[in-house]
Copies of this chain bind each other. A is one copy, B any other.
Amino acid sequence: MTGPRWEPRRLSAVAVELPPGVTPAGTRGRILLAGLQLFAEYGFHGTSIRDLATAVGINSATLYAHYPAKEHVLAELVLLGHEELHRRLQQALVEAPPGPAAQLAALVRAQVGAHADFPLLALVANAELHALSPERAAPALALREQSRQLGLRVLRLGADRGEFRVADPVLAATAIGSMGMQVAHWFGPDQPYTRDQVADAYADFALQLVGADPVQKG
């Protein structure tokens, strides 16, 4: 499509930005940011290379001087999103106080924080991954599985120690992960919550869900 079909309604109020230090320099970075916005709003197949080029302010041919194909722009965004989340989860585990409860709270805060800080990136990484060919989706899927295992290990540890009262850690991990994932779909500066308020609330939800005693916030 040449122009936007209609006014953005999916994520209009959210800033178009990537995590610090990962935006490529020059035009390549601007293409990535424009792709972030358009893919989030209209989807990968709903965005043409002319839409993308127009948003960047360049000719569509110039795109191919920076990316070999439209799909590679999406692939980079999807990978960046999964890398950012996994990095934050790992760091949260490292910095967390010992014990499954504190670790679970730290993981949930990190996940919610990542999706609240960069909702566009989280949305594209999750909702548009299916548009990638299997070989280009594989790295992100591998990262996603690793992130899932981080949460699952903490839940199993808590269950084994008797600190969590949860019958099925796999289902609990899925449910908790689902809560945080959806944050990217609704959180924004127009909401009456700060990112920390949502992160703390969701961490409490997760602890309650697994039947743990509340822990102090860090």
Contacts and interface: CB of A to CB of B under 8 A. Distances in A.
| Interface range for A | 35 or more
B201 A205 contact: no
A9 B209 contact: no
Interface in A171-218: 171-172, 174-175, 177-179, 181-183, 186, 193, 198, 201-202, 204-205, 208-211
A202 B182 CA distance: 16
A186 B208 contact: no
Contact of A209 (B130, B181, B209): B209
Nearest to A182: B178
A2 to B, nearest CB: 15
A87 to B, nearest CB: 23
A34 to B, nearest CB: 18
A133 interface: yes
Contacts of A172: 205
A161 interface: no
Q: Is the interface of A mostly helix, strand, loop or mixed?
A: helix
B205 A175 contact: yes
Most buried by B among A130, A133, A172, A202: A130
A193 B198 CA distance: 31
Interface in A107-125: none
Contacts of A72: none
A43 interface: yes
Interface string A1-43: 0000110011000000000000000000000000000000111
A47 B19 CA distance: 32
A183 to B, nearest CB: 8
A97 interface: no
| Nearest 3 Cβ contacts at the A-B interface | A178-B182, A45-B45, A45-B46
11 contacts: A9-B134, A41-B130, A42-B45, A43-B44, A43-B45, A171-B198, A174-B182, A175-B205, A178-B179, A178-B183, A205-B209
